[in-house]
Amino acid sequence: MIMTAATDLQALLDGPHAALREDTRRRLSKLGLERADGLSRDDYRDLVLTWVKEVGGSGDGARSFPASVGGQDDPGGRIATFQTTGHSDLSLLVKMGVQFGLFGGAVHRLGTERHLPLLRDIGTVDLPGCFAMSESGHGSDVRSIRTQARYDADAGEFVVHTPDETARKDWIGSAARHARMAAVFAQLDVAGEAQGVHCFLVPLRSADGEVLDGVEIEDCGDKMGLQGVDNGRLRFNAVRIPRDNLLDRFGTVSPEGVYSSPIATPGARFFTMIGALVEGRICIAGAGLAVARNALTIAVRWGERRRQFGTGLDMDTPLMDYLTHQRRLLPAVCESYVLQAAHDHLTASYVEVLNGGEGQRDVEALAAGLKAVATWHMVGAVQNARECCGGKGYLTENRFASLRDDSDIFTTFEGDNTVLMQLVAKTLLSDYAAQFEDLDALGLVRHLGSRQAGRMLSDVTRRFEKTSLLDPEWQLDALRFREERLVDSLARRLRTLTQREGIEPLRALARCQDHALAAARAHLERQAHELFQPNVTGELLVQVRDLAVLSTIERDRAWWLEHGFLSPDASKDLQKEVNTLCRELRPHALTLVAGFGIPDALLRAPIAVAEQVGGAGSD
Amino acid sequence: MIMTAATDLQALLDGPHAALREDTRRRLSKLGLERADGLSRDDYRDLVLTWVKEVGGSGDGARSFPASVGGQDDPGGRIATFQTTGHSDLSLLVKMGVQFGLFGGAVHRLGTERHLPLLRDIGTVDLPGCFAMSESGHGSDVRSIRTQARYDADAGEFVVHTPDETARKDWIGSAARHARMAAVFAQLDVAGEAQGVHCFLVPLRSADGEVLDGVEIEDCGDKMGLQGVDNGRLRFNAVRIPRDNLLDRFGTVSPEGVYSSPIATPGARFFTMIGALVEGRICIAGAGLAVARNALTIAVRWGERRRQFGTGLDMDTPLMDYLTHQRRLLPAVCESYVLQAAHDHLTASYVEVLNGGEGQRDVEALAAGLKAVATWHMVGAVQNARECCGGKGYLTENRFASLRDDSDIFTTFEGDNTVLMQLVAKTLLSDYAAQFEDLDALGLVRHLGSRQAGRMLSDVTRRFEKTSLLDPEWQLDALRFREERLVDSLARRLRTLTQREGIEPLRALARCQDHALAAARAHLERQAHELFQPNVTGELLVQVRDLAVLSTIERDRAWWLEHGFLSPDASKDLQKEVNTLCRELRPHALTLVAGFGIPDALLRAPIAVAEQVGGAGSD
């Protein structure tokens, strides 16, 4: 019985790639992660490179690459093993992501037949590379990058050049020490005509590690975390590369200097090109969920072991028995299960799109939104878990130092979370507009008006009267109602600002930024809970769902109160119900974190060794 | 004009000890804080010790000690300089706190005439010491510590002994490397009779640094931060100390072995004894506010310098122009001003109590509550500020790494925040009970019943109808209403649990822990805003107050909605008003952080050098 519950939960989280994840956990457990402890920065970086090579040697590096070049055509599997690696050293995770996902991904997704053979050496790490997109002046705004790539038809070469400091490539993982080649994003100029952002392969170092002529490399210096990743800055001084080094799947240049592309407009080309980023976001979302689970596992196990002797009472009470402790940890544990369902769906949809399926825009929006929601969930879970472990959590040996410092940048890289949530909001708005595209402006306003009135008189009243906190239909209804209303009212505000006040659309959106973010979050939360619903089998998962959804609603319950969906009394009942669910789930806390399936050899926190607390679960 | 606003703001924050703070800033700026960068742990610790000695040499170490032993009888001044030190290296801050505040404070407040001369060498750091209270098995529960101190009347000595691992002294700052003496808290046993916790001076090391017989010292190991503080673990193996080494202000032992105390019960004695902790909490609250200001200063200045090129728009917009950015930073900037008023009041009241004034319980409750609220404010401000600085914030050179990792333990030490908030709730409940002590149980229930009914029919309706967000009376009314109602309803729930269900009072309180924490927070927030009110002079401070109080109410607005104080429409207006205030205060953002008065030499963040952004303010 005891093991069954935890095993079932783990099977749910491991999903379709369970065997692969188990294999990855076993493989990572043998890497000797403790060897990084106390190393100098350079030695740590070199050790991480050897780990990345071991991953490459295991075949996992080429997992998503085509079978024709030694890969397995399995991007879904790669996303799963990447997430599982989030339980281990995060410098390894990020360096792997750079080599196989970003550098390899650029060659794979943006290159053509003549580039694919490179993937053999990329997968085995015989060719360590990097992904040079971000520039010092243009963090989250790739379209504005300023690195130049001019085609010289006489020489049949591109000239890659950094015109000034704002165009310096910045934060490039693997650039400072190991990369021999970079996938460089630059503005293509053919015969004086700007063709927009394209990606070029630029050699950086010789086989023996010498930096090549015209390339300038500098270390970004000490970072808060991820010291095992050699982030660097790159400048190019009129570096010449052969014409073949353009990754030309979406735009090519003939020897004579004629540009052609299967995609008509530079705008559309650009979006296709940076579509390559979407896999990175999916990967970071998954890793963020893994990091949160690490922290929650440590805190729950310690909360079970640590006894607090209550002053004046003869009680020897585990910390986990306290309501505040339960409230800090259990909702996040349950949300971990819910968010994984969204991640599984995202991964599957992404693979479908890669295989020619529909829904690319939805995948891009979900990737952006889930990356933000999952990494913010991570930041909160890690901080709460650290505080719940008190002084023990402050000791380096108990992992919070590295967990937090290494993962903190997840909210920033692969797109700043706030910027990503705005992307989601923009997608919601265009879906909204598309829904009504047959109506003229006036018609839309009229339509909105009647919809609103209708809802106020019927739907809301019905809902208000029928608050039923533990009914999954009511729960989803609440989440759907919020999303619908927020998008609706956002569209109205924008309409007023643009049509009546004549404000330019993007400026108008900037004025409603908090509204847009709320709409995006509502969208993500609704989606995640809908996607989790089919996973709810058995009593324990019913409670997991209830606590996750009710604590989500509780956090923002003011909104439902303001919009007549919750009565003041129902809102108070909601809080009581969260307390009740915390109490009911408390005996299953160890089981729920056992379901995360993190081996001690990866967790590496002495206060959270599974056997010492019956980590397999106590049900 | 430009300088005036910032100068006035700084004068407000600097308060009655402005000259002393300015002197401290100047002194700290000359310490050469950058010398710590890149040092090994041991070298860093030794450097910090030399800094602490420089502080001692400046006279600041003995500031709160009696003039008779070279001090200045100025505890308020010490609290101010300690807070100002929060802008510099936090290992220095904590090590100073251990030497002068905890170790010196124990000798000063718990010792008698014969101990005071030690304060000379403590103030100059010729006698480096430590404060050995926490034990591995009893973190936040001092009453349950298990270190033994048995009086041996034949030898006229105490025998200090660690009976087992849970009684091991843990996390003792300065113990691992530098302390020559410890103020050890232990259970006094005189002739077989337990007299409760007392404090003893136990020599640890000889003048040349050799660990003395019977003392076992071990390093706590690497920590997330504060690597410049040598935290250690202590075990005593029947260590003998002279009878005079008992700090015997509140309880003494005659040579023959007769115990006597001016305080009758061991319980009261205990609370008097650990009253010494209150100054530590006041100091950490102040330091937490200083750390938050460091982070906010860096983020606001960078937000002003950093331009985001909006895709598709021809705009070159500083990050600070974005509403989300403003919402993440400006409310916290304003709360910094508000919370300082509470801290100033706390300091002044504490000094009054030291001088024989009334109100010790209030001071203890405010110290506990403000320590928790201020350090949680700090955690949120630092995280938001880091994320607002993106990748730049992740570079060690820009200070967030050390700011966050060094300060994170503030939520844990000097009492875990959650435990402290429960202390506040207990004080509120006893005040509440005292208010009605002339009524019998039934009378109280009846009285509560009529009060409640009366409020529902008159007060609330009046308030509800008259929402006036920018009226300071309405603002305080809202905060008072919440506090009153939360304490009221908490008392009712406890009454039901204890009287009707027969649950033991402390267990009943544990059942209502979330309610108790909410009441404590409501109490603190009301108090802080009341205390800030007299400081509001001039238009800018009116806006600072409005944004601080309205964003506080906004965060928990569901509560006011649930209790009929805010109508749904008023609650929506509240959010709009927060946006409006953010927009109105945005041009003053640099001025507001200039008012924090942090010199570049202490801030040490290249992205936030004052001159580069017109740091003196732009009004």
pLDDT in tens, B168-210: 999 999 999 999 999 999 999 999 999 999 999 999 999 999 9
Task: Identify whether residues B234 and B312 lie together within a single domain.
Answer: no
Mean pLDDT value of segment B460-478: 80
A220 to chain B: nearest residue by CA? B395
* Residue B284 sits in the same domain as residue B253: no
User: What whole-number distance in Å separates Cα of residue A381 and Cα of residue B459?
Assistant: 40
Residues B219 and B108 in one domain: no
Cα–Cα distances (Å) from A71 to A52, A92, A120, A392, B186, in that order, read 16, 21, 8, 44, 66
DSSP state of B205: B
> Would you place residue B268 in the very low, low, confident or very high pLDDT band (cuts 50, 70, 90)?
confident
Domain membership flag for residue A346: yes
Residues B462, B569: one domain? yes
Per the CB < 8 Å rule, is A561 touching B558? yes
Among candidate residues A97, A124, A151, the one where a domain is terminated: A124
Give yes or no for a contact between B192 and B206, defined as CB atoms under 8 angstroms apart.
Answer: no
User: Cα B303 vs. chain centroid, distance in angstroms?
Assistant: 28
Contact across the interface for A401 and B405, Cβ inside 8 Å:
yes
Spatial CB neighbours of B62, under 8 Å, sequence gap ≥ 6: B56, B69, B70, B71, B72, B100, B104, B119, B120, B122, B123, B124
Cα A271 from Cα A265, distance rounded (Å) = 10
pLDDT at position A92 = 98
Regarding whether A63 and A7 lie in a shared domain, the answer is yes
What's the pLDDT score for residue B441?
42
- Res A270: pLDDT: 77
Set of chain A residues whose Cβ sits within 8 Å of the Cβ of B295 = none
> How confident is the model over B289-347, as pLDDT tens digits?
999 999 999 999 999 998 765 444 445 789 999 999 999 999 999 999 999 999 999 99
Tokens at A212, concatenated: 């090549």
Q: Please say if the pLDDT value at position A609 is more than 70.
A: yes
Residue B429 region by backbone torsions, left for phi larger than 0, else alpha for psi between -120 and 50, else beta: alpha
**Helix, strand or coil, per DSSP, at residue A148:** strand
Please indicate whether, in this complex, the C-beta atoms of B311 and A563 are within 8 angstroms of each other.
no
Q: Is pLDDT of A570 > 60?
A: yes
Residue-level pLDDT at A74: 96
The residue from B123, B157, B183 where one domain ends is B123
Q: Please identify, among B97, B123, B149, the residue that sits at the C-terminal boundary of a domain.
A: B123
Specify if B17 maps to a domain. yes
CA neighbor of B219 nearest in space, from B167, B177, B168, B169: B177
Is residue A92, in this structure, part of any structural domain at all?
Answer: yes
Q: Are residues A417 and A358 in the same domain?
A: yes
Name residue, tokens 């002084």.
A391
Mean pLDDT of B50-69: 96
A616, part of any domain: no
Task: Measure the N-to-C terminal CA separation of chain A; round to a whole number of Å.
Answer: 7
CATH number (domain holding residue B190): 2.40.110.10
Asked if A279 and A79 count as a contact pair (C-beta separation under 8 A), the reply is yes
Task: Return the bridge partners of A236, or none.
Answer: A215
A562 contacts in B (CB within 8 Å)?
561, 568, 571-572
Residues of A in Cβ contact (< 8 Å) with B575: 514
**What are A349-375's pLDDT values in tens digits?**
999 999 988 888 899 999 999 999 999
Nearest neighbour of B386 by CB, restricted to A408, A504, A575: A408
How many CB atoms within 10 Å of residue A260?
A: 11
From the list A422, A418, A407, the residue with the least C-alpha distance to A289 is A407
Give B117 to chain A, closest Cα distance, Å: 34
* Domain, as residue range, for A41: 2-124
Q: Whose CA is closest to A554, among A576, A524, A580, A536?
A: A576
B315: helix, coil or strand? coil
CB B131 within 8 A of CB B182: yes
Residues A379 and A436 in one domain: yes
Which chain A residue lies closest to B310 (C-alpha atoms)? A141
Q: In whole angstroms, how far apart are CA A464 and each of A468, A561, A575?
A: 10, 10, 17
Q: Is the pLDDT reported for residue B154 higher than 70?
A: yes
Distance CA A333, CA B298 (A): 34
The answer to whether position B618 is within a domain reads no
Number of domains in chain B: 3
How many other C-beta atoms are found inside a 10 Å radius of the C-beta of residue B435?
A: 12
First to last CA, chain B: 7
Of A22-31, A451-460, B264-273, B579-588, the range with the lowest mean pLDDT is A451-460
Q: What is the CATH number of the domain that holds A100?
A: 1.10.540.10
Residue B151 lies in a domain: yes
Domain match, B251 and B392 both: no
Same domain, A438 and A388: yes
Question: Is residue A447 located within the same domain as residue A362?
Answer: yes
Q: For residue A145, what is the nearest residue in chain B, using CA coordinates?
A: B309
Among A250-254, A428-432, B426-430, which stretch is predicted with the lowest mean pLDDT?
A428-432
Residue A452 included in any domain: yes
Give pLDDT tens digits for B338-363.
999 999 999 999 999 999 888 888 99
Q: Which positions in chain A touch B375 (Cβ < 8 Å)?
A: none
- In a domain, residue A272? The reply is no
Report the residue of A394, A464, A492, A551 to disrupt the B interface, i.e. the one with the largest count of B CBs within 10 Å.
A394
Mark B186-224 as b/e (b = at least 16 C-beta within 10 Å): bbbbbeeeebbbbbbbbbbbeeeeeeeebbebeebeebb
Cα separation, A61 vs A120, in Å, equals: 10
The verdict on a CB contact (< 8 Å) between A510 and B323 is: yes
Same domain, B402 and B446: yes
At A66, the amino acid letter reads: P
**A513–B323 C-beta distance less than 8 A:** yes
A476-A477-A482 Cα angle (round to 5): 100
Asked if residue A136 and residue A119 are part of one domain, the reply reads no
Q: What pLDDT, on a 0 to 100 scale, did the predictor assign at position A432?
A: 78
Instruction: Give percent above pLDDT 70 in chain A.
Output: 91
Q: Which residues pair with B129 in a beta bridge?
A: B181
How confident is the model over A501-520, as pLDDT tens digits?
A: 998 888 888 889 999 999 99
One DSSP character per residue, B42-54 reads: HHHHHHHHHHHHH
| CATH code where residue B528 lies | 1.20.140.10
